[in-house]
Every structure is written in structure tokens, then in C-alpha cells.
Amino acid sequence: MESEVKEYPKFVASMRKTHTILIPSMLPFHMALFEKALLVSGYNVEIMRNEGPDVVTEGLKYVHNDTCYPALLVIGQFIDNLNHRTDHDKLVLLITQTGGGCRASNYIHLLRKALDKAGYGFIPVVSLNASNLEKDSGLKLTYSLIKKIAAAMTYGDEIMYLFNKTRSYETEAGSAKKLALDWVEKIGEQFGKKKGVSYRALRKNLNDIAKSFNALSLDLSHAIPKVGVVGEIYVKYAALGNNHLEDFLVSEHAEVMVPGLYGFILYCLYNSIYDSEFYGHGKIKKLGSKFIIWYLRRREKLMIHSMKHTKFTPMKYFSHTKDLSEGILSHGTKMGEGWLLTAEMMELVEIGYDNIICTQPFGCLPNHICGKGVMKKIKSLHPDANIVAIDYDPSATKVNQENRIKLMLAIAREKIEENEDAKL
């Protein structure tokens, strides 16, 4: 008997005007700018902001409980959102596909299955990917849209970086967040006027953003623990995935540093070059990757230069970060966050964030290997590194996670006191 291939509803070009694309939440500043970039490119979009226990409950209801926790949360957030609205016939759901060997490439099928079971099987699902998957989609990654998304990512990374650099030291509560949101709004307005995307506009805006954060009133008189956050991309960036980890760290009087999205995108691009050189296929993809790397590196340089005349130490060039995993993990280790996770931990230690939280979702074998698996080696190279792996899954309690983080912070504070004593 021949097996039937199920036809799923498609997002076609004519739906752009009539349908709203729902997008899972992740990085708040970036997502707000991506939303605007898509809006001005002719798509109606809405970032989902629903959280709470119902998200996990819905995820557990429709996704097998040994599936990666990020998939469970993303699918749970979609179903929970759909349960609270009535415009189902005017919706499209967007999910990303990495295109690599990791299970993230297949979440789309899990989502479609969950929608079927929940009675929403008629809602089209659209994939955002750069791997030529789901080719018949009405969402087209045109050069113009890619340029806007790249600009949004550049602004998002710089705003997030400077927000994290200042929020724990502000003398006026909420001033760093207000400034960050003002910039998101201002850049969004520029996108609406077809501005803010060119190289020249980026240079001006990035310099102005850095200058404005530099002018914030900060109290830098006391040393506080500096904590870096690494891990699987969703639980690293999504407050829904990591139980608002960044807010918790700030409430504990720590400075937080979360490496930007540039690292992950450049990591994926370098991986496709590695594949081509190592396995001899994908020559056109390799050329495309080289071009995008060149394009992004020019903008990365603008971000780094924008901080030249400020009190902030800029982020490192990715070409430097990339080399830091050498001798620890091969660049062939590229499932999940692969060698990037190791390289980011090494970079954080190098720039003074030697207290590190490695966020690990349930079901994520690659990141356990490239995160937890390399901690011993990193500690042998940097004995002062204070690294803790925190697991995130439906049954892990927030209290337990926070207690483990508090223990890590206690060690960090002891180190600060020791160093201050040494200075006397």
C-alpha cells in the first residue's frame, strides 16, 4: 500500500495583505526591530508575548516530553496564543529552521502535528530558513529584506550590549531600559521611512546609540559580579525559556553579558564554508556565505568602532572569538551551538566575565557536550573561571535554578572581596 503524503495549508503570496504572521518571542529589542523590518516589507507580523504555566502545559499536551525543551515551549506558546484569540482564519505561524543536523530543522513538523491534534491544522506554518527548505513559501528572503534584517540585528546587538553594560549601574531606575526602548522606536520609525539601513545610516545611528548610553548617569563605585550567559540559542535569549534569567541576575546586583546574535549567524555561515571545504559540496553556498560574512563583518566593525570614544569596552571581533575554541573543540563540532558555545565561554573569561552560566535545555545533547563537556578543560586553562550549568526543563523549578545561581554569585563576591583586600 502506498503511503499518502499529507498536504499542509500553505502561506501563499496573496495572504500577505490579509493574514498576520505570528512569531515566537526571543530577544526583545531584536524582535521588535525584525517586526518592523517585516512590516515595511509588506508582511503583517505580531510577536507573541504570552507566557505563564499554560504555555508549558500546552507544550506538554501536544509535544512528546522527551523532545527538546525549546520546541516544547515554542509550540506551547503558539497553541496557548491560538487558544486566546478568534482570528484563526487570518493567521500564519512562523518558525525557524536551522537546516543543520540538529533537531531544530524538524520542529516545523512537530508544530504541524501539534496543530492538527489541537484542531488548528488549517493554519499555515511558514519556515524562515536560509537552507532552501520549504521552497514553496510565500515568505521570500529577498535581498532588500535580508538587508533590513541584517540592520535590525546590528542595532539589536548594539542596544542589547549597551543596555546590559549599563542597567546594573544606573543611578535612575529604568533609565537604561527607557533609552534602549527609545532607540528601538526611533530606528523602527526610520525603517518606516525607508531609512536606517544603509551603511552610512548604520554608522551614524550606531555612533549616536553608543554616545547616548555613554551619557547615562552610572554609579561605578562598587565592583559587582560580572556574569556571562551562554548556551542553546533559545534558552540563552528567551526569557520564557530561562525564567527571566537576566532580570534575576540584575536583581541580585550582578552585571550580565549575553553574547550577541552576530556570533550565532556568523557561526552558521562559517560552518557552511567548513562543510564545503571538508566534504567538497555546496560550492555556491560557500560563495554566498563568504559574501554575507564580508557584508556582516563590515557592520560588526561599525559596532566596535562606535564605542571607541566611550567608557565601554567593545565586544570582540567574531574572527577572534572563533579562534578561541581551537585546541578545545574542533570546528567540525557544529550540531546545536557546537564550537560557538565553547568559544563564547573562552571570550567571556578573556573580557572579564569569568562567572558564566551555561543554560542547557532538556533533551539537548549537542549543547551538553559543547557546554558542560568542556567546562573542565576551560577551568584547567583559566582556574578562576566560575562556571555553572543550569538545566531548563518542564519539571525544573525556578527556585532550584536560582539557588544554584546564587551559590555561583556567592563565589563571585568572595573573589571580589579577596581582590579588594589584596589592593589594600
Positions touching ligand SF4 (CB under 6 A) are 68, 70, 102-104, 232, 336, 361, 363-367
**Is the CB of 70 or the CB of 260 nearer to ligand SF4?**
70
Ordered alpha helix ranges (H), 280-397: 283-306, 318-323, 338-350, 365-367, 373-381
**Is the CB of 225 or the CB of 371 nearer to ligand SF4?**
371
Closest CB 258 distance from ligand SF4, rounded Å:
17
Closest CB 114 distance from ligand SF4, rounded Å:
16
**Is the CB of 224 or the CB of 369 nearer to ligand SF4?**
369
How many other CB atoms sit within 10 Å of the CB of residue 113?
Answer: 16
Closest CB 235 distance from ligand SF4, rounded Å:
8
DSSP letter assigned to residue 312? S
**Is the CB of 70 or the CB of 76 nearer to ligand SF4?**
70
Contact 139, 108 (CB under 8 A): no
Bridge partners of residue 127, in order along the sequence: 95
Bridge partners of residue 229, in order along the sequence: 357
Question: Residues of 51-88 as b/e, b for ≥16 C-beta within 10 angstroms?
Answer: beebbbebbbebbeeebbbbbbbbbbbbbbbbeeeeee
Rounded to a whole number, what is the distance in angstroms from the first to the last CA of the chain? 83
| DSSP output for 198-224 | SHHHHHHHHHHHHHHHHTS-B--SS--
How far is the C-alpha of 47 from the C-alpha of 94, rounded, in Å? 10
**Is the CB of 68 or the CB of 126 nearer to ligand SF4?**
68
**Is the CB of 168 or the CB of 367 nearer to ligand SF4?**
367
Closest CB 344 distance from ligand SF4, rounded Å:
14
Closest CB 241 distance from ligand SF4, rounded Å:
10
Closest CB 368 distance from ligand SF4, rounded Å:
8
How far is the C-alpha of 74 from the C-alpha of 95, rounded, in Å? 9
Closest CB 159 distance from ligand SF4, rounded Å:
26
**Is the CB of 72 or the CB of 216 nearer to ligand SF4?**
72
Host H or E run for residue 398: helix 398-423
**Is the CB of 342 or the CB of 367 nearer to ligand SF4?**
367
Q: Which positions ≥6 away from 66 have C-beta within 8 Å?
A: 363
How far is the C-alpha of 328 from the C-alpha of 208, rounded, in Å? 39
List, in sequence order, every beta strand (DSSP E) within 144-204: none
Complete edge-to-edge strand list for the sheet that includes strand 44-47: 44-47, 20-23, 91-96, 125-128
Q: How many residues does the chain have?
A: 424
**Is the CB of 225 or the CB of 363 nearer to ligand SF4?**
363
**Is the CB of 103 or the CB of 316 nearer to ligand SF4?**
103
- C-alpha cell at position 174: 529604568
DSSP letter assigned to residue 244? S
Closest CB 274 distance from ligand SF4, rounded Å:
18
Closest CB 36 distance from ligand SF4, rounded Å:
27
How far is the C-alpha of 361 from the C-alpha of 350, rounded, in Å? 26
- C-alpha cell at position 395: 519539571
Closest CB 397 distance from ligand SF4, rounded Å:
20
